Structure 1
Amino acid sequence: MGSAEESPGSEVATSVESTLQDVEKHGVLSTDKTPGGDEEQWKRPVGRLVWFQVCVGIILSAMLYGLDTTIAADVQASVIQSLGQIEKISWVGIGFPMGSVATILLIGSCYGIFNVKWIYLGGIILFEVGSAVCGAAPTMDALIVGRVIAGIGGASMALTWGVGCILGPVVGGEFSVSSATWRWAFYINLVLAAITAPIYIFSFPSLDPRPELSHAEKWLKVDWVGAFLKAAFIILLMVALNFAGPTWRWGSGGTIALWVLFGVTLITFIVQQTFSIFTTSETRLFPVQFLKNRGLILTYIASAAANACVFIPIYFVPLFFQFTKDDSAIQAAVRLLPFITVVIFFIMFSGALLPVFPYYSAWYFVSGIFLLIGSPLMFTVTPTTKTAAVYGFEIIISIGAGLGGQIGYTIAASKVKPHEVPAAIGFINVSQIGTIALALAISGNIFQNLGFKRLQAALAAYDFTEVEIRSALAGTQSKIFQNGSDEVKTLAVNSVSSTISSLYGLSIAAGALILVVAVLMKREKLQMNLAVAG
């Protein structure tokens, strides 16, 4: 079998595709015999047109997820201008992947137990409900809730997201500067879903992977305790990272309580999964047995580090150009296209050549090298750095991130037994989607805290309130940039720009970690016979 690079959340995509492939291969038993033999023939239960429609539906839902993954990157300034509460702005980006990673293992488990069609449709409906909440949000809190709901729904959709990721910032930027406003960056999902709804409702086959089980028995097969604990510790971690500093002081009782609750919940989850409490070793949510496999652990770490280097530029490159070049949202989004396009190209490049050159540790080593060249260069960027140079630095990072970002799925699938392949894909899913949320939470916290301190120090001689200084971090539409003198604007731009550049310290650390992991990996060829085809 060949290999295919999977996108974040591809456990779900693989579940849907493999089930549909089963229909394609085995279908409905015919009573006809093959000419010259007694072997039974199998027929596909759906016609070619319906099969084509199903494939189109999966692809379109993939694009929707990709669109929502990046669409928030370029609407932040407009959201703040409309809803306020700058201290919560990072949640617009974090909420979506947080909802996905909190539920992805549970949903992947459900795909192996319940009717595939209804899990898929339920996810799309939840995704659209979340999008509607985002579009109509009267407050920042409502918008955050909508993003989390959309993320949960998106976790059950096929997540081949490349095209959507490219379009996301551009679509979001275009809406944010149009009369439609930023709200249509989320309402657009409802329009697209309405167009494709007949495919999902009427064309998707109804497939029950466990017809021998009653509904009650199916519900008992799900590790609900593990699902609750996993969602709880992820949410507590994200809340603690985002509230510490901008909302609550680091040493405050609320911050300490959040970190304690996170630690207790995480430890409880580890114990519950290790000893299969209220579940069994076969049905527990997390594949604990993989933690004994050195190769899987190193692959998990490398995948996480590479993906961290993707989403820091996606969310902060547009912001950099809006501050330093006075770009509109759409102009800033267009400047991001080279980065995303190159990342996707090298994801496909590494996937195509991995079977030809199967020494996977070398791929990670080269990935780390590129990241350790591009990230320090971005760390040195200032408002006076030439735009062409910034593009070049971005592209170097995108090559490294693309080379190492997705091969983990194929590597993990090749290192486990055939029946453990879905669990291995889920294992890397947690690494990838979890890293998106974690990278955005950490970078958002640094940006809010360090950016505020630098702005406050630079503008100490001027009579600006704390609220006005914090609002300046959201974009050039703030009072400081709209009404301040040229000197004030220059000081503010330099402070914000240096803060954004500092965020690439995370990419430097990630690149170094990938290099270390590559050195620790075995010098072996990847055995492709167990790799996932999709």
Structure 2
Amino acid sequence: MIEKFDSESAPTAPLDSLSDNDRASTSVANVSGDSTDIEKNEDDAQVNASSAAVTEEDPHPVKGIKWWLLLVAIYSTTFLYGLDNTIVADVQGSILDRFGEIEKLSWIGTGFPLGSVAVILPFGFAYGKFDNKWVYIMSIIIFETGSAICGGAPTMDALIVGRAIAGVGGAGQYLGVLNLITRFTTLRERSHYMGMTGLTWGAGTILGPVIGGAFADSSATWRWAFYINLVILAVFAPIYFIWLPAIPFVPEETFIGKFLAMDWTGIVLSAGIYTTWVMALTFGGSTYPWNSGKEIALWVVFGVLLIAFCIQQYTCLFTDRKRRIFPAQFLKRRTLVLCFICTNCAATAFFVIVYYLPIYFQFVHNDTGLESAVRLLPVVICFVVLAILAGTTMPYAGYYFPFYIVAGILIAIGGGLMYTVDETTSTSAIYGYSVLIGLGSGSVMQAAYSIGPAKVIPVYEDIPPVIGFINVAQIGGVVHSLAISGVIFQNYAFRYVSAAVKDLHLSAEQIRGAIAGTNSAVFDTMTPEQQSLAIGGIVQAMQKVYILIATAGALCVVCGVLMRREKLFMESSAGGA
């Protein structure tokens, strides 16, 4: 029986949670042409391993209605993780009205994925060593803490800190769901339950802008876009404590021993790299001049941390190969590196369009937050639908490289067309251009989660690290794309708007206030002609941002062409034909 290459099937099963039955009944046959590296000669052992059908015991921790309520409670955290990825796309204007500080706008978007990407690999290690129940609950508590800080934030800085904390908890929640579902389901039924993980994440991603926009336009205000997380998880809290069983890993080791065994040097260096990178980009040209001492210092610190991290991981300083935080061994695998790059490109394309399309409609069409959120539905729905369809059709096609080539072409065309968008472009044309981006990015965003584990089997201990490797690409793509697009937009918008309204002799702070939104105090002082010129400058700055999408698409095409012309099969012989 063919097990689908969907987004959350085999790859979510860490080594410690794979039963002997799972290992004996799962196989991957890689048929490649002239390959000469480590990826060859796996077929015979894997086919032999899957030759005998096995019967698995029912791993469900509870039965009947309790089982379904437990699933709903678990899936709610995946839904909220998807929700928080996009919910700020349509509340940015309201937040800027409250706090101002346009130069920190991109931090609202990057703070959440930045917190996530900094802890993905440590959480992956934790789920393989500690009791999964309490790691998962701890993640929920961290997420709730961050959401509460965001909802009650008195300043922009507090809001950014809250977003980062929520991102840390969100990453733990997401990885926790993948591990728990793997643990609680049989091999035969697992793909269906994992498919629900993708659906709930996708539903949250779709509804994020709509829910955020609705709160921003209501008397509840944008703060309830974050408080809603507290309400939903409070409802399910008793289920996590009562029906979620303890899942201890490596019980022979003490908690202190497992805690100290983590690669803390690598964890700290990795978090510092991402933080200084985003700070250098976000502050450059807005808070600090590019040639200022503070800006140069940020780039120097980033470079030093990056070099130190590479040396520490290569030499396994203060750690060992199995415990080091970054699975550097995958950098020698061509397919995995190319999948990493393509996943990053897909995340870049999708999140750039999701964050900047609402800004366009709010400026050009004077949309409310909710109205501009509704305009995002075509691209987000196409993204989710294609992610599901690609996961369904890829195993039947066998070859995966065509998916990446076609996806890259769609993204590149969509990004190129968005570059032509100005104030006169029809709404239907913009829908069509953005949908191409959604189709392309959706078709490959999750594919590597299946391809990666298929490439490392039968070395089962490499399955957890390869999932973390791809997850870093996905969440890292969000961080990089929002940080880079933010600095592009802020710097070009400032330049173009300054030139457009130079006769007004506005200060730099007033010009940044105009960029903050059409309902800013500075914008209200302009004549209709001056407002039109300012909007034209802002739209022109957005065109520069869309170059990032076109570039990501082109890079994805190149990587697809360089991939192996091989056919991957995933089989399961447990209880089915």
TM-score (norm 2): 0.86
Find the counterpart in structure 2 of residue 113 from structure 1. Answer: 129
The yes-or-no answer on 1:134 pairing with 2:150 is: yes
Distance change >3 Å, CA 458–CA 89, structure 1 → 2? same
Deviates more, 1:283-292 or 1:158-167: 158-167
- Contact 1:468–1:478 at 8 Å: present in 2 too? no
Contact conserved, 1:368 with 1:512, CA < 8 A, in 2?
A: yes
**Distance in 2, Cα, partners of 1:50 & 1:264:** 52
Q: The residue matched to 2:376 in structure 1 has which SS?
A: helix
Is the 2:111–2:161 contact (alpha carbons within 8 Å) kept by the matching residues of 1? Answer: yes
Name which structure has the greater RCO, CA cutoff 8 Å, separation 6+: 2
What's the counterpart of residue 484 of structure 2? 442
In 2, the alpha carbon distance for the partners of 1:92 and 1:438 equals 14
Which residue among 402, 407, 410 is the counterpart of 2:450?
A: 410
Q: Structure 1 residues 135 and 519 mapped into 2: Cα distance closer, same or farther (>3 Å)?
A: same
Pick one of 96, 110, 123 that aligns with 1:80. 96
Q: Distance in 2 between matches of 1:44 and 1:144?
A: 39
The one-character-per-residue Cα deviations of 1:253-273 (angstroms, maximum 9, x if unpaired) are 111111111111111111111
In the TM superposition, residue 307 of structure 1 has moved relative to its aligned partner by: 1.3
CA–CA distance in structure 2, aligned partners of residues 24 and 526 of structure 1: 22
Which whole-Å CA distance do the structure 1 matches of 2:529 and 2:14 have between them?
Answer: 57
Paired residues of 1:58 and 1:158 also in contact (CA < 8 A) = no
- CA 1:162–1:509 in 2, change beyond 3 Å: closer, same or farther? same
Give 1:421 shift: 1.2
What letter is aligned with 1:429? N
Following TM superposition, by how much is the alpha carbon of 1:54 offset from its aligned partner in structure 2, in angstroms?
2.5
Question: Residue type of the partner of 2:503?
Answer: A
C-alpha deviations, 1:217-264, integer Å up to 9, x for none? 211321111111111111111111101111001111111111111111
Asked if 1:505 is matched to 2:564, the reply is no
Structure 1 counterpart of 2:63: 47
Corresponding position of 2:3: 2
The answer as to 2:247 corresponding to 1:207 is: yes
1:349-498 equivalence runs, <5 A: 349-416=389-456, 417-498=459-540
Alpha carbons 1:98, 1:234 under 8 Å: kept: yes
Once the 2 structures are TM-superposed, how far is the Cα of residue 216 of structure 1 from its aligned partner?
2.2
Query: How far apart, CA to CA, are the structure 2 residues paired with 1:212 and 1:389?
Result: 61
Shift of 1:432: 0.4
One-letter identity of the residue aligned with 1:153:
G
Tell me the CA shift for residue 50 of structure 1. 3.1
Report the residue type matching 2:215 in the other structure.
F
Is the alpha carbon distance of 1:196 and 1:429 closer, same or farther for their aligned partners in structure 2, counting shifts above 3 Å? same
Question: Partners in 1 of 2:420 and 2:209 — Cα distance?
Answer: 25
Amino acid paired to 1:315: Y
8 Å contact kept, 1:24–1:44: no
**Distance change >3 Å, CA 190–CA 22, structure 1 → 2:** farther
Matches within 5 A, 1:36-435: 45-158=61-174, 160=197, 161-416=201-456, 417-435=459-477
Worse overlay, 95-104 or 83-92: 83-92
Cα distance between partner residues in 2 of 1:233 and 1:474: 29
Partner Cα distance (1:371, 1:63) in 2: 26
SS of alignment partner, residue 552 of structure 2: helix
- Give aligned pairs, total: 513
Q: Verify the 8 A CA contact 1:382 1:497 in the aligned structure 2.
A: yes
SS at match of 2:395: coil
Per the TM alignment, residue 25 of structure 1 is displaced from its structure 2 partner at its CA by 9.2
Question: Could you tell me how far 1:422 is from its partner in structure 2?
Answer: 1.4
Helix, strand or coil at the partner of 1:186 = helix
- Contact in 1 for aligned 2:21/2:56 (Cα 8 Å): no
Which AA in structure 2 matches 1:309? A
Measure how far apart 1:14 and its partner are.
Answer: 4.9
Residue identity matched to 1:299: C
Listed as ranges, the gaps of 5+ residues in structure 1 are 27-38
Mapped to 1, the partners of 2:545 and 2:20 lie a distance apart of 48
Amino acid at match of 1:521: M
Identity %: 46
What SS does the corresponding residue of 1:188 show, helix, strand or coil?
helix
* Structure 2 residue identity aligned to 1:97: P
Q: Deviations over 1:285-328 (max 9, x none)?
A: 11111011111111111111111100001000000000010100
- Alignment partners' CA distance in 2, 1:472 and 1:23: 62
8 Å Cα contact 1:94-1:441 kept in structure 2: yes
Counterpart-to-counterpart distance in 1, 2:294 and 2:363: 33
Amino acid at match of 2:170: G
- Report the AA paired with residue 84 of structure 1: G
CA contact (8 A) 1:413 1:421 kept: yes
Inter-partner Cα distance in structure 2 for 1:175 and 1:372: 34
Q: Secondary structure at the match of 1:528?
A: strand
Give the aligned residue type for 1:446.
Answer: I
SS of structure 2 residue aligned to 1:415: helix
Alpha-carbon contact 1:53-1:203 (below 8 Å) kept: no
Q: Is the alpha carbon distance of 1:43 and 1:283 closer, same or farther for their aligned partners in structure 2, counting shifts above 3 Å? A: closer
- Partner SS for 2:529: helix
Q: What amino acid is the match of 1:77?
A: G
Shift of 1:425: 0.9
For residues 169 and 212 of structure 1, do their structure 2 counterparts lie closer, same or farther at Cα, with a shift above 3 Å needed? same
Shift of residue 53, structure 1, vs aligned partner: 2.5
TM-score normalised by length of structure 1: 0.92
